């Protein structure tokens, strides 16, 4: 499936993407669409087209699989993302990472700010940077504001792993990849992760690879 024409109106770009059934193609790092601030959503897609686009983003997220996907990751520079995390992890991981289930949600025009609680550092990956993970220190708690797909405003606090997810996806909407915030000495292939760094925290990786963790 070809990516949409970046010079076409946004509605036309989305129609082009949805012309074929199934998951949408994920844009890989190096494509300019991932490095440009997105356009604030202000009715560029009519309600039916928006609903179809959201459904396609959800299908794409599940197929990847991932816990979130942002519109620019499918080539559309619009300030929309979706998240969902069933969090099928062992109890130790749940406790140390604060990873709890998150229902499917649509984030429209989201923005976040740190809300205290210090910083937490864990390995993080991205569908647009396949095959690798790196440690990113992020605020452990954030305040997220925005709207849902129906235009209803929200103002909520997120902590633990859900806070990491909403920061990661909102960053995409600002042209920021997780690697921009990562400890680059921690960069590891998925194979190395499986062989060496499958522990619930990156403490061992920090000692062996020589990168700092927040206090």
Active site residue 39: no
Q: What is the pLDDT of residue 43?
A: 95
Ordered domains of the chain (ranges, CATH): 10-120+139-179 (3.90.45.10)
Q: How far is the C-alpha of 13 from the C-alpha of 146, rounded, in Å? A: 23
CB-side exposure of 35: number of CA atoms within 13 Å? Answer: 7
Q: What is the pLDDT of residue 99?
A: 94
Element (H, E) at 164: helix 160-173
Q: What is the pLDDT of residue 3?
A: 64
Sheet holding 153-159, edge to edge: 68-70, 80-85, 102-114, 141-147, 153-159
SS3 208: helix
Q: How far is the C-alpha of 131 from the C-alpha of 189, rounded, in Å? A: 6
Show binding-site residues for Fe cation: 126, 168, 172
Q: Are 170 and 140 in contact (CB under 8 A)?
A: no
SS3 177: coil
Q: Which residues have CB under 8 Å from 58's CB, separation 6+?
A: 82, 84, 104
Maximum pairwise Cα distance, the chain: 52
CB-side exposure of 172: number of CA atoms within 13 Å? Answer: 34
Out of 92, 169, 183, 195, pick the active-site residue: 169
Q: What is the pLDDT of residue 173?
A: 98
Q: How far is the C-alpha of 215 from the C-alpha of 199, rounded, in Å? A: 19
Q: What is the pLDDT of residue 62?
A: 98
Q: What is the pLDDT of residue 215?
A: 76
CA angle 29, 32, 35 (to 5 degrees): 75
**Would you give per-residue pLDDT tens digits along the chain (215 residues)?**
566 677 789 999 999 999 988 999 999 999 999 999 999 999 999 999 999 999 999 999 999 999 999 999 999 999 999 999 999 999 999 999 999 999 999 999 999 999 987 999 999 999 999 999 999 999 999 999 999 999 999 999 999 999 999 999 999 999 999 999 999 999 999 999 999 999 999 999 999 999 999 87
Sheet holding 182-189, edge to edge: 119-125, 132-139, 182-189
């Amino acid at each position: 499936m070809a990516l949409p024409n970046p010079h076409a109106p946004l509605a036309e770009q989305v129609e082009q993407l949805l012309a074929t059934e199934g998951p949408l193609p994920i844009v890989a790092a190096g494509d300019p669409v991932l490095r440009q601030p997105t356009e604030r959503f202000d009715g560029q897609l009519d309600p039916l087209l928006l609903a179809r686009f959201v459904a396609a983003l959800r299908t794409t997220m599940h197929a990847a699989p991932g816990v979130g996907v942002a519109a620019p990751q499918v080539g559309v520079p619009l300030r929309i993302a979706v998240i969902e995390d069933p969090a099928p992890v062992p109890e130790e991981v749940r406790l140390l990472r604060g990873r709890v289930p998150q229902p499917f949600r649509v984030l429209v025009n989201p923005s976040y700010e740190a809300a205290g609680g210090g910083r937490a550092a864990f390995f993080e990956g991205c569908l647009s940077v396949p095959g690798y993970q790196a440690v990113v220190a992020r605020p452990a708690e954030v305040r997220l504001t925005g709207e849902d797909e129906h235009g209803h405003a929200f103002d909520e606090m997120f902590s633990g792993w859900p806070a990491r997810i909403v920061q990661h996806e909102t960053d995409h909407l600002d042209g920021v990849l997780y690697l921009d915030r990562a400890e680059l000495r921690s960069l590891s292939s998925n194979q190395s992760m499986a062989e060496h760094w499958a522990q619930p925290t990156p403490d061992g990786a920090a000692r062996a690879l020589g990168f700092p963790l927040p206090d």
